[in-house]
Amino acid sequence: MFSSVVQYPARTPRSSAAQFVDEAHREHSSMTYAVAMRATRDPEAAADVVQEAFLRLLSEARQGRRPDNVGAWLCRAAMNVVISRARRTTVARKYAPRLVDYSMPEQPDTIAVVRESRTELLAALAVLRPAERTALVLAAHGVTGPEIARHLGRTHGATRALMCRARTRLRASVAVGSAA
């Protein structure tokens, strides 16, 4: 996992790990902060990156793994944190619009128009014969012509002619209703 890590026995005392990280912090914190600052260009973000890098170093030291070149290890850890944060930010920015629903509830005037149109359509459909009404409603729901023909017990050609006549009668009924 680490190319330049010296393996110490896992029984290393925790205070020894803390002392190791404390010494590394005194020696390398300013350089690690400079690397993070150069990558983020934000003092607060850079401070968070440095803190995360030193937490990772503490975790490794507690597990008995100490890098040979602590400064280089901290710079690489800081850059890994910066890259990871950038990826998370990109994903968050990409999917954030999905979290908010900007749609407005239907307005009362829209509801009234839809109900009125539905009432007019039902009245117009009532003028049609049952087979015509059934064929048009099935077609409106996406049923194919051959399936409608099977449902009505007719040939496909006869069903097409029936639907053409039904649409003509429906248009005429709607035109008369809207003119009145």
Q: Over pLDDT 90: what percentage of the chain?
A: 63
Rounded distance between C-alpha atoms, residue 119 and residue 127, angstroms? 13
DSSP output for 110-178: HHHHHHHHHHHHHHHHHHS-HHHHHHHHHHHTT--HHHHHHHHTS-HHHHHHHHHHHHHHHHHHHHHHH
What type of residue sits at position 131?
A: A
The domain ranges of the chain are 5-99, 108-179
Rounded distance between C-alpha atoms, residue 120 and residue 115, angstroms? 9
What is residue 134's predicted lDDT score, i.e. its pLDDT?
94
For residue 117, is pLDDT > 90? no
Helix, strand or coil, per DSSP, at residue 7 = strand
Rounded distance between C-alpha atoms, residue 25 and residue 103, angstroms? 51
The per-residue pLDDT for range 22-59, each reduced to its tens digit, is 999 999 999 999 999 999 999 999 999 999 999 999 99
Q: What is the CATH number of domain 5-99?
A: 1.10.1740.10
Rounded distance between C-alpha atoms, residue 97 and residue 54, angstroms? 34
For residues 132-155, give the mean pLDDT: 93
User: Options 2.60.120, 1.10.10, 3.40.50, 1.10.357; which CATH number does 108-179 get?
Assistant: 1.10.10
On the 0-12 / 13-18 / 19+ scale of CB atoms within 10 A, 50 is buried
Rounded distance between C-alpha atoms, residue 169 and residue 128, angstroms? 7
Rounded distance between C-alpha atoms, residue 55 and residue 57, angstroms? 5
Tokens at 14, concatenated: 């925790």
For residues 74-101, give the mean pLDDT: 91
Rounded distance between C-alpha atoms, residue 102 and residue 108, angstroms? 18
